[in-house]
A and B are shown apart, each in its own frame.
Chain A
Amino acid sequence: MKSRLILLPVLALALLGVVLGPIGAKLLGFERLIDAPAVHLAPQKIFAIGGFTVTNTLLSAWLTCIVILLLFGLGSRRMAMVPGRLQGFLEVLVEALYGFIRGMAGERYARRWFPLLATIFVFVAFNAWMALLPIYPTVGFKAEGADHVTTHLLRSAGTDINMPLALALIAFVFIEVWGFRVHRFGYLREFFRFGNPVQTFIGLLELISHFIRIISFTFRLFGNMLAGEIVLFMMTFLTFFVTPIIFYGLEILVGGVQALVFMGLTLVFAVLAVAPHEGHREEHAEAGQH
């Protein structure tokens, strides 16, 4: 009975949203209340420091960094053997990420790789989650003569291709540096295989695939974050109330999943880079036989 009392107003609100939105406007023949959202890929300029332009996505990234640093700084300020709530939350997060990394990379690399990989996860996830706050789509500046916000103060950094590209470059350098560090010049034999045309071709493909990762890393995160943003805008535009909440829930999940995927793929590629590759495997096998 009590749940019905809550459900009925919620359904009524959802229906009202549909009626007042563009669908209702089209069906009932009145002028729609809001303009259709426009998709624009590039971030918007907020201010400039000298010749350097600060965009709303970069500002958002800095804000996210501050929040992350405050959260982690406060949570780990006084570490106790019996943790409080915030310390407990951070410990659970760190333990889960560390366990994930250790499970794939082993104890040998987990401790060294953890800071970068965990930060990738935290940075991507918090950027995505913070963009769900209502201040992101509402606070901004109006252009002259405009009746709505034309430049948003904050926008999810994941929707700016520069951020995923920067993370992809970091991941690429991280993977290749570790591959080179472990195998030294033997790592290059993975790409430059001479003597057999088929092997040479495979090596070339391998080399290209490593560089392709930068693009795949970048566009996977960029596409997902941007698509999520667009879906939220469109659902809010179409239905006004209630229904967008479902998509907000979905976006919380997508943010976490994308962060995990980015971190996980970096980890997997790093593990593959440090694992003994074909030439080394043969050497290991020969050494094993002797």
Chain B
Amino acid sequence: MTDLTNNQAVQPGVALPSDFVALLKPRVMSLVVFTALVGLVAAPGVMHPVLAMISIFAIALGGGAAGALNMWFDADIDAKMQRTCRRPIPAGRIERNDALAFGLFLSFVSVLLLGAAANYFAALFLAFTIFFYVVIYSMGLKRRTPQNIVIGGAAGAFPPMIGWAAATGSFDANALLLFAIIFLWTPPHFWALALYKRSDYAAAGIPMMPVVKGAASTRVQILVYALLVTTLGVVPVFTGLGGALYGAVSLLSGGLFLFLAVRVFLSRAGDDPGPGQAELYQVKKGDRAARDLFAFSIMYLFILFGALLVEHGTGNHSPLPIAFLQGLI
């Protein structure tokens, strides 16, 4: 159990419904909803639109439940970080046990609802995702290893597979491909943030890559992962999952992602500034580059998955002649 050391005094009974909504991490939820929807729409199965909508709602609820349980467990470190100290528990508006009960209740409801609306394979997968995020990532990895978000990133990469499983009752190599794209996208996304929020993470004692291995090593790793994700981002064209629109979008947005990653690599983002003004300027310039990469990485995922949604959702999807891997899947 974690201990709330820097917490403001809890004010009992003042929590509003909006505080409980904040526990669900709505911004993370929106990414979960979007990627799960793409998985569901791009999958070869056919689902009634009403049941599909309820399934997506259930997946969103499950993602929110995982967020609430994460905030329950991480309340002590949230209180120490500028970025998170205004969350409902460290701000003293919601008691930790209330967040725990809320998260557990929503977990059960979301899994049962997905089982009823889609199938129990997808429901089981949603339950596993909540378990992975809360137990494996939050409790196990986050405070122990700089590889926390590399392995923990799997939790954020599961939603398109859950959507796929909801539509088909199983998944194939294309579903795994969607998973792999988000999985490889997660490290450069979070490490870009960690570079310019390094002191925040250090103050909370979270072993993020820039804190443990230093900024220079993190910049190299960001570049490596950026190369991997932008390369993998093009592969759906060869498996037949992505068509012409997807191909163009993945090349253009991948190129920009790579450019921004190279800019961070060449910068001094996250470095300790020396005594001189010129050095401080270079580090701040680097931090801006990291900020740009962080912001664009979110856009990249939305553009990439958005292209799949447009192609499959409007019925305009047709594999390109270069989809030579299609027969193997």
A is bound by B: no
Give me the interface of A with B, judged by CB distance under 8 Å: none
